[in-house]
Structure 1
Amino acid sequence: MMANAFPHSLPQLNSPPVRALAWSCFAPPLLNETTGIAAPDLPLTSQRREWLEQLDRNDRRLRDYLEQHCRSPRLGLVFESLWHFFLIEDPHTELLAHNLPVRQDGRTLGEFDVLYHDMLKGHTFHLELAVKFFLARHAGELPFREWLGPNSADRLDRKLERLLSHQLELSQTPAGQQALKTAGIVKCEPQLRVAGMLFYPEQQKAWSHGLNPDHPVGDWFHVGKFRQRSDEHWQWRLLEKPYWLDADYENARPLDERQLDRAEQRPVMLINKHLERCFVVPDDWPRD
């Protein structure tokens, strides 16, 4: 069931941060546009592919940007910073603002993730960004509420509801309009980019209406079942959370029984040399 989480449509890159950049900005999203909100129309053109390949040969510019602007290892903040770098560097886009707070009566209502201008279209966009790794509770056709985060508290339906009913509605509020005016923006159109991976239960297919059929995929296994696959253990390494975006196999830790013991308490992500990924979760997962 597992497929390369770094799609073949992307250039084969050696630099982990450049690979994270390509995956974050150009890998297929998790959702299609049945949400009613458009995704960014910024495809991987030959010009952008060449830009990535040049960065791969010398990634100092990207590394310096991340060191200066993103000192947190949190996946969501790294993901946003990679998008900021792309919009700054791309000759057809202008990053106008990011993480712009919306306040009313001294209270913060939210923030605009990204405000950028598309020079080819002549439009300004409010782009909300999210990167998520969800596991299907069971095989078959599922509602969004059955896609759970590794800790089983996060849910796809809740995340999407928050994005659609709160974050993307900020520009329609008086406080949001005032924040835009202060930033010199008169009008903007909403866009949504939800990237990440979906993991299927023990190599069984799961799907939901509204998912992009080309989304990056992996599998998940209860730790007891995974231990029975001992002939495959040597293929896998433990991928710590700061490296989930760049899928750096070389930086992952060789798998041993002590690390599998961790999976008896909480989910762990594994990666193999083909950049395929899987989760190994406690035998009583999900705990709800």
Structure 2
Amino acid sequence: MRGAGAIHDVIEHLADPAVRDLAWLLFSADLLRAQPPLAPLAQWCADADEDRATRAFLAQLDRDPAPLHDALMAAPTHRLGHYAENLPGWFLAHGPAAQLVAQNVPVRRAGLTLGECDFLVRTRAGARLHWELAVKCYLHAGPGDAARASLAEFVGPNLRDRFDLKLTHLRDRQLRLSAREEFASLGYEGRWLAQMFVKGWLFYRAGASAPSRVEDAPELAADHGRGWWVTRSDWPAFAQQQAADGWSVLPRLAWLAPRQLGAPQTSAHVAPPVDADALGAALARPDAPVLVAAFTIDSAGGYREQSRGFIVPDDWPARAAAFSRQ
């Protein structure tokens, strides 16, 4: 049900960005393989009937997305993680598959918050599930050259996050919250199976300085979402080599599903979705990586995302390599 083929089949005919983001969270490939015994993968869809019902639900929601939009407007946020949590939270409350019991449940000891359970879910068969959601974008900062990557080599664009540290925190702390005595005292009866719900994109170096091949870390799912990254010095040559009809800077809340831009209704000519001023302003920030997408014109005259990647400062690779070894 998951992977590149599955997500393409689901979102190909969806137009609303929020509905596409929800579909992407549900149907896109996981970033990680299951990490038994402590970190199995979340299974929101129990069988083929729930899969079909969810596809039909999303298609209807795309025709009338107002209920989802209203819920998102009621909890406005500029943080990608909060936006990503709001989408499946709404789906679990209204969709045809697993049902929401509670969301963001704090677990405390002597007044100290130990953490929050992202989602408590009950399947239609009665199983009790505790899901921890993470949506991450990491760039590979290792040497490559046919070497096997390690999770420590996947770093956040701003060098404040690292995949190995995130997995350790997820597996050893977050997923164990529902097994603690303090959780049992909250009144959620029964045993809750903790599962990780980890989605996102991993970006690999492109351009003249890219390694010939990077073998995936063993923890990674083989069909995880992939993008590229280039330095600012390599960017002009790289962009010129791409068969793209336009480029667009992706704001943070557009980092989930591949973007789709409809054709203008007032003209048969479609202007490339590129704002030179916005791109120039983003690249003028000395230390900030910028996520951009390449677009191609589709048969309807609109634009569909072809690929995405980060443009990073020229000194970023050295700083990122050092951060991966800390």
**Same fold by TM (over 0.5)?**
yes
Cα pair distance change 1:65/1:230, threshold 3 Å: closer
AA matched with 1:108: T
1:267-286 matches, cutoff 5 A:
267-273=289-295, 274-275=304-305, 276-286=307-317
Query: 1:26 deviation in Å?
Result: 1.5
AA matched with 1:165: D
Equivalences, count: 281
In structure 2, which of residues 257, 271, 275 is the aligned counterpart of residue 254 of structure 1?
275
Query: 1:259 deviation in Å?
Result: 3.6
AA matched with 1:97: A
AA matched with 2:10: L
**Secondary structure at the counterpart of residue 73 of structure 1:** coil
1:230-269 matches, cutoff 5 A:
230-231=239-240, 232=242, 235-248=246-259, 250=261, 254-255=275-276, 258-259=280-281, 261-262=283-284, 264-269=286-291
Percent of counterpart pairs with the same letter? 32
Select between 50-59 and 226-235 the one with higher mean Cα deviation: 226-235
Decide whether the 8 Å contact of 2:54 with 2:97 is kept in 1. Answer: no
AA matched with 1:8: H
**2:18 corresponds to which residue?**
17
Cα pair distance change 1:65/1:142, threshold 3 Å: same
1:137-286 matches, cutoff 5 A:
137-138=141-142, 139=144, 140-179=147-186, 181=187, 184-202=188-206, 205-206=213-214, 207-231=216-240, 232=242, 235-248=246-259, 250=261, 254-255=275-276, 258-259=280-281, 261-262=283-284, 264-273=286-295, 274-275=304-305, 276-286=307-317
Structure 2 gaps, min length 5: 263-272, 296-303
Query: 1:250 deviation in Å?
Result: 4.0
AA matched with 1:23: W
Decide whether the 8 Å contact of 1:221 with 1:279 is kept in 2. Answer: yes
The TM-score with structure 1 as length reference comes to 0.89
**Secondary structure at the counterpart of residue 110 of structure 1:** strand
CA distance in 1, matches of 2:185, 2:231: 50
- Greater length-normalized contact order (CA 8 Å, ≥ 6 residues apart): 1
Query: 1:172 deviation in Å?
Result: 2.2
CA distance in 2, matches of 1:201, 1:57: 39
CA distance in 1, matches of 2:260, 2:294: 7
CA RMSD in angstroms, aligned pairs only? 2.4
**Secondary structure at the counterpart of residue 44 of structure 2:** coil
1:91-102 matches, cutoff 5 A:
91-102=96-107
Structure 1 gaps, min length 5: none
- Is the counterpart of residue 67 in structure 1 residue 68 in structure 2? no
Query: 1:196 deviation in Å?
Result: 0.3
**1:41 corresponds to which residue?**
43
**Secondary structure at the counterpart of residue 265 of structure 1:** coil
- Is the counterpart of residue 108 in structure 1 residue 87 in structure 2? no
Decide whether the 8 Å contact of 2:53 with 2:96 is kept in 1. Answer: no
Decide whether the 8 Å contact of 1:80 with 1:129 is kept in 2. Answer: yes
The TM-score with structure 2 as length reference comes to 0.79
